[in-house]
Amino acid sequence: MAMLNRVHLNGLRAVETVARLGSLAAAAGELNVSVSAVSQQISRTEKQLGQALFERTASGLVLTEFGAVFAARLGAGFRELSQAVALADEATQCTLVVSVAPAFASKWLLPRLSRHFDRHPKVLLRIDASVRLANLDHSDIDIAIRLGDGKWPGGRTELLLAQEVFPVCAPAIAQKLKSIEDLAQTCAITDERAMINWESWFETAGVPPVTFLKGARFTDPMLCLESAIAGHGVMLGWQLLAADALTDGRLVAPFGIRAQSGLGYWLVTSSVKAESRKVRDFKVWIREEIEATMARFGSVNPEPAGAIAVERTEAPSYVESDIKLRQAGS
């Protein structure tokens, strides 16, 4: 760190800005100084470093070989500084950073966020849509919602909802299904990255697995859902992915059986950071939303027109030990 004392920060900013924008004039505009001031800062920095950073040509400044490497490192450093300063702004504005998988965010969370805004108007939400779960002990993420087994390093987990899977399809497809065996005459819509499979559902239904017709394959559950809505076949859906489409009739669940997948939705927070009020409030809010969704979900087409009569079992009560050691991202 002592080496930094030989170089002025303003000079480093000038070098990084010129390298990034490609001209003295553009850099002067961003830094709100004159072109000559930027030029002087660059010359002073080159003297302090004992290295030429730019070549002076008729068409302007061009980075030297050393200058290109130096500017790249500077750029990364200033981006880190910018993010660090942004933390202060977020703290002042009470920003809550929530990490969720894109499918969960798009199909369930976003339609309900207005109610969080209404309840907590001073809390700004930033949604980090990603299937990658960073170590929350070393991250600016306040809370994550993940589908999996609840075993993640650097995180404290709370079970939010055990996942249940079941077939869903467009109403027109459902009308053709007079029995579970009729699934053999339909196309299966497949999510190639899913950690769920049809075997568990057929086992719960008490019937041998059928061989589907070949259908569309995707690497995203949202595309699978849209394909099912479009009438391309049957997909194995789950509560929070399909609930809204079931509510408004775009999809139906043609059979009255749900199977445990062995996975669950989990709330994940840092194992070392103190839990803030905004995180506690978010937990309360999302649990209420889950309960409201499931209350409606249980009454949506419990026996839809054309559905096959099946023996229902009492819905199980879930505890954390019910969630097997499997993991998924959506």
DSSP letter for each residue of 131-177: S----GGGSS--EEEEEE-S--TT-EEEEEEEEEEEEEB-HHHHTT-
- According to DSSP, the β-strands at 217-218 and 143-148 are unpaired
> Distances in Å between the alpha carbon of 197 and those of 77, 183, 231, 318?
45, 15, 20, 20
Q: How many CB atoms lie within 10 A of CB 17?
A: 25
Please give the pLDDT value at position 91. Answer: 59
Q: How confident is the model at residue 206 (pLDDT cuts 50, 70, 90)?
A: confident
What number is the average pLDDT over the span 186-190? Answer: 95
**36-49 pLDDT, tens digit each:** 999 999 999 999 99
CATH 1.10.10.10 domain range(s) in the chain: 2-93
Structure-model confidence comparison of residues 207 and 249, the more confident one: 249
Q: What is the mean pLDDT of residues 234-240?
A: 93
pLDDT at 261: 87
pLDDT of amino acid 174? 95
State mean pLDDT over 41-60.
91
Look at residue 256 in the predicted model and tell me its pLDDT: 81
Residue 3's pLDDT is: 65
β-pair partners for 255: 308
Q: Where are the alpha helices (DSSP H) in 144-259?
A: 171-174, 198-205, 221-229, 239-247
- CATH number for region 94-330: 3.40.190.290
The answer to whether 270 and 195 are in contact (CB under 8 A) is: no
Does residue 7 register a pLDDT over 80?
Answer: yes
Task: Provide the CA 275 distance to its chain's centre, in angstroms.
Answer: 21
Give the pLDDT confidence of 141-186 residue by residue, as tens digits.
Answer: 999 999 988 887 778 999 999 999 999 999 999 999 989 999 999 9
Q: What is the mean pLDDT of residues 48-58?
A: 91
Average confidence score pLDDT of the chain: 84
* pLDDT for the residue 1: 58
The CATH-assigned architecture of domain 2-93 is Orthogonal Bundle (1.10)
Which comes out higher in pLDDT, residue 297 or 124?
Answer: 124
**Is it the case that residue 241 has pLDDT exceeding 60?**
yes
Query: Is pTM, for the whole model, over 0.85?
Result: no
Task: Give residue-wise pLDDT tens across range 259-290.
Answer: 988 899 999 999 888 889 999 999 999 999 99
